[in-house]
Structure 1
Amino acid sequence: MLIKDVAVSLPSRIVTNEEVIDMIRFHSKDYEGDIDRGMRTIKTLLDRSGLVNRRWCESHESPIDHVAMATRKALSETYLKPEHIELFIYVGIGRGFLEPGNSHMMASTLGFVNAECFDVVDACMSWTRAMAIIDSLFKSGQYRNAMIVNAEFNMLAGGPLYPGNFALKSQAQIEYTLPSFTIGEAATATLLVAKEPDNFTFAFRAKPAVSDLCTIPIPGYEGYCHPTERIGKNGDMRFTSFGHELHKNSDELSAVLTKLPVPKKDIDIVFTHASSKAAWQGYGAKVGIDDKMYHIYPETGNLVSASIPAAISLAKDGGRLKRGDRVLCWVGSAGMSFNVSSFRF
């Protein structure tokens, strides 16, 4: 499998940490306790994570417009047109439909009229899971090309984050709500072709015992699990994430890296899930690859399942990633799941 091209479309509004603090203060009318202390805590933690800005949509922007721009850019330097794409997969958390798959609706809207469609939903691991699936499908000879798209626009009013999670009630709520304030928005499109079958390697590990650390439960979820006190602390259809606990449980990141058959010295660039520059830099230093890491988190925030493809696109456009470079992708996700994958770009 080869990445023919990858493209990102970022919304136009740039939002600073200071602006986010002002929004939280404005919506937290019922805050019990010292709100100034609470705001200082959030600001300090955001700054320490390495976050400076994130990108959100202005009122005139819509997710489908950004997906259209990303797919158009990904196809622009090839002979392929939307009607030539054989497999169209939608990945990630941001979505407009529980039924049918978002892939079907977007393929219809964007002219991918001959593509087979389905969705992959695996939190921030969704793009990587889709890549592994397509790699296997290509090896089986079922398809010659594929497009992966996502539209991580989770800050839209009435969504899982805003304004609900910005209306804090107490200092204690910060523990499981702080990651909400790191989220950015983006759409990405990844165009893949069935060439060089041995190019990609994937290794996954799972830690389902801590699956309740990061959730967006839907009404009636209690019938599909053994409920715990951590699930849905912010309410149904709202993002609850114990960010500190997630990073404490990321020991599998080092373990999964040992499955990589590529020597570290041969790696040219490392892309990680954009959840915290400080945390990922620490993981990299522990295993000796921190000098090869490419971070987008400071200027985009956490792009959820769009983190890796957005980073690849931005590194390519900025001249940091060149054809033939050996790439390492390193992901930790809610679930929890962990991945290391490598390929020649």
Structure 2
Amino acid sequence: MSLVLRLSKESYVGTHIKLEQMTRQFLEKAGAKHRRWRTGNTKPIEHISEAWKNCLAKLDPDQAAKIGTLIYCGIDKGVAEPSHASLLAQKFGLDRVRCLDLSDACMGWFTATQVASQFATAKAPYCAIVSAEFPMEIPGRVYPECFTIRDEQDFLWKGAALTMGEAASVTIIDSLADESPQVVYTSSSKLADICCVPLLRADRFVDSPRLSPKLADNCFVSYMPSMALESYRQAQGILIKYIAEYDRPDVVLPHLVSQTGPRRASHHHLKDGTLKNCFEHFGNLATCSIPVGYEYFDCNKNSHVVGWVSAAGMSHGIFRLW
């Protein structure tokens, strides 16, 4: 709140009382309480390396030797080439593994689990899926521009950035273990231009009357009214379909985009206590949402555990983990 008021002091065209009320109302409606950001001058690679060490420590040497693929699926990116996966494989001492980056917005982690089987072999069936979401660079694509509000319409495009958290995750999966995946997925490109993180000269690739004017700010934008409504409808629809096809899950881990949104969308469809949402503790972690939630709630492998994600693009998926 204080960052918004301070950075918007010169730009906001209304009263600061109105800006404070609007910001507070949005954060309360989303259920935002805490966001975890880096302190000091730490770099994302340091946190990725720590996540890798923690994950590797849970494997025995024979299992580690079966890692044949490394996929980087984070929205946050540092280079255009080589792939982040190649640089991470070098860092981790993985010499002869298949490396690739995957870009699918907040759906990236789930898509990586699907893609991994295409590169798995009997001798090397394991895939390391790495995600890093560290948007709070100073300056960066979130700070300070997303905290610099001009008017109410500007807030509708920038407000989602106020819930961002930071995290790194490493997940190692057996890509050949699940022969009959339980998945419900849907997508539509009609609203592909309502959420964007621009890179260098994004206008070279974007031709959208709705999005193009927003690129001048060179920051993350997401038109919240449309994102919220579309995500609610589609996420609820795939949840209902999943339950009809595969029965009610014991644990549902939602994309950490809101504390209240998943609760409303799942109301009357899930038993009490099924939805495990840690957004209020971490903020929006994008592609790290499902692995962070899985570890935070210490999900039982014997349970029926699913991930539930809506992503820019727009795409929506619910998929069984265990």
TM-score normalized by the length of structure 1 = 0.85
Is 1:343 the counterpart of 2:314 in the alignment? Answer: no
Q: Please state if 1:285 is matched with 2:263.
A: no
- Matched ranges for 1:32-47 at <5 A: 32-47=13-28
**Corresponding position of 1:330:** 308
Answer yes or no: is the 8 Å Cα contact 1:55–1:184 preserved in 2.
yes
1:82 and 1:111 in contact (8 A); partners too: no
1:215 and 1:280 mapped to 2: Cα distance? 22
Distance 1:236 1:40 in 2: 24
Matched ranges for 1:214-253 at <5 A: 214-231=195-212, 233=214, 235=216, 237-250=218-231, 251-253=233-235
Tell me if 1:165 matches 2:146. yes
Q: After TM superposition, give the deviation of residue 256 of structure 1 in Å.
A: 2.4
Q: Which residue of 1 aligns with 2:178?
A: 197
Residue of structure 1 in register with 2:57 after alignment: 76
What number of residue pairs does the alignment pair up? 317
- 1:305 counterpart residue number: 287
Distance 2:277 2:291 in 1: 12
Q: What SS does structure 2 have at the residue aligned with 1:210? A: coil
Match of 2:112 among 116, 119, 130: 130
Q: Secondary structure at the match of 1:96?
A: coil
Determine if contact 1:180/1:239 at 8 Å carries over to the other structure: yes
Identity %: 24
Aligned-residue offset at 1:172: 2.4
Structure 1 vs Structure 2 CA RMSD: 2.1
Q: Is 1:262 aligned with 2:240?
A: no
SS in 2 for 1:74: helix
Q: Post-superposition shift, 1:287?
A: 2.8
What displacement does 1:257 show? 2.9
Per-residue deviation, 1:247: 1.2
Query: Does the residue aligned with 2:184 lie in a helix, a strand or coil?
Result: strand
Per the alignment, in what secondary structure is the counterpart of residue 109 of structure 2? helix
Compare the two structures and name the one with the higher strand fraction: 1
Equivalent in the alignment of 1:17 = none
Runs of 4 or more above 6 Å deviation: none
CA distance in 2, matches of 1:184, 1:326: 28
Alignment deviations for residues 200-220 of structure 1 (CA, whole Å, 9 cap, x no partner): 322321021001110123344
Match of 1:185 in 2: 166
Which SS does the other structure have where 1:48 is aligned?
helix
Secondary structure of the structure 2 residue equivalent to 1:55:
coil
Given the superposition, is the C-alpha separation of residues 105 and 83 from structure 1 closer, same or farther in structure 2, using an over 3 Å criterion? farther
Q: SS at the partner of 1:25?
A: helix
Give the match for residue 11 of structure 2: 30
In structure 2, runs of 5+ residues without a counterpart are: none
Amino acid in the other structure paired with 2:185: F
The alpha carbon displacement at 1:231 in A equals 4.2
